[in-house]
Amino acid sequence: MTRGVKLVIVCLLFVGLISACGVKSKEDVSSALNKKIEELKGYKVNAKMTIKTAEEPHVYEVEIWHKKPHYYRVLLKNDDRDQSQIILRNDDGVFVLTPALNKSFRFQSNWPQNSSQAYLYESLVQDILKDKEAKFEVGEKNYVFETKTNYQNNQMLPYQKIAFHKKNLTPSYVKVMDVDRNALVSVEFSNFESNPKFDKNAFEIEKTMSNAQVDIPVLAQSANKQFAVLYPLKEDLPEGVDLVQEKELNTDSGKRVVLTYGGEKSFTLIEELAEVSPVTSSEFVSGELVDLGFAVGALTDNSLTWTYNGVDYMLASNELTQKEMIAVARSVQSQSGK
């Protein structure tokens, strides 16, 4: 027997030994994840989402319910209970509920299929399957993939590390990273429940709103009607863009602040106290639902609107791209002064 033949036999034995020991390849795990998602009828899972900002990290509790084929309920809640929002998808469409304001907003949207969703199991698996260049490693407790993302702002957050428990392939954690592989958004999963039983009205607006308001009471409208004005960080603005005017107006609902930024990428940012609806109301919102991390917004070609901590924000521009508007919005909520 020649030396070459012996070497081939040794290699084949080694590969067979690895396979017998249960070491999985990227293709093995990807295929198993795809099969698990196809067989799963639904799930409930909790998560802690941490968003790194210029000042201090913001931590949000996330509760996710999913029932096939297209029912979703995602509760986003930060330390300030007034900021809680719920993304709801049912037979009537996609809605964003703000219990503290007694309002719901309906979107013409194919969410969550339109982009990556860091806290949805099936979205993470789809990102892995789509990225033929995904990296893979086997950790002590997890299978870990590094893939490209599919966010509206993926120039800011182009990569993600996704970990699944080796024992049952449920999600363990996600780290969404910038171009330098710094984790700016982290999601840690817990209490994953497969194929749970849901109440008949679990994904209805009225029931969801009333249940949420037990924990998140409707805000009492402030007689003061004042709020702290927030500004985007200078380093997050496009080059050459500066604040050129700040104007405060008095309206029936309180003060309205108009910030005008000039330069090649000019834009206007309007801030005013959000109105609390006396009765549960729903309105149609033009634009695509976009998850900003700290809140859910409505994005069009020329504007981005969102509500945070009882204040309505509208960013309007003919020069900023959608990705740039998202970047400015994220910067606004990381800064509490000029």
N-to-C CA span, the chain = 79
Peptide bond into 217 cis (omega under 30): no
> Any idea which residue has 């958004």 for tokens?
185
Coil, helix or strand at residue 137: strand
Choose the CATH number for 26-215 among 3.40.720.10, 2.30.30.60, 2.50.20.10, 3.30.420.40. Answer: 2.50.20.10
Residue range 78-90: mean pLDDT, rounded? 78
Average pLDDT value for the chain: 86
Choice among 9-13, 192-196, 197-201 with the minimum mean pLDDT: 9-13
User: Could you state, in order of their start, the residue ranges of all structural domains in the chain?
Assistant: 26-215, 234-274+300-332
Q: Is the pLDDT of residue 92 over 50?
A: yes
For residue 16, report the phi and psi dihedrals to the nearest 5 degrees.
-65, -35
Instruction: Provide the pLDDT for residue 7.
Output: 44
Instruction: Provide the pLDDT for residue 220.
Output: 62
Instruction: Provide the pLDDT for residue 79.
Output: 63
pLDDT tens digits, one per residue of 9-37: 444 443 333 333 456 899 999 999 999 99
Which of these, 299, 281, 282, 279, lies nearest to 290 by C-alpha position?
299
Confidence band, pLDDT 50/70/90 cuts, at residue 223: low
Instruction: Provide the pLDDT for residue 269.
Output: 98
> Any idea which residue has 């976009």 for tokens?
290
Which of these, 290, 302, 224, lies nearest to 85 by C-alpha position?
290
Instruction: Provide the pLDDT for residue 224.
Output: 56
pTM value is 0.84
Dump the DSSP string for 183-242: EEEEEEEEEEEES----TTTT-HHHHHHHHHHHSPPPPPPSS---------GGGSPTT-E
Confidence band, pLDDT 50/70/90 cuts, at residue 72: very high
Instruction: Provide the pLDDT for residue 136.
Output: 97
Q: At what angle do helices 26-39 and 121-130 cross, to 10 degrees?
A: 140
Which DSSP state fits 335?
-
Instruction: Provide the pLDDT for residue 222.
Output: 56
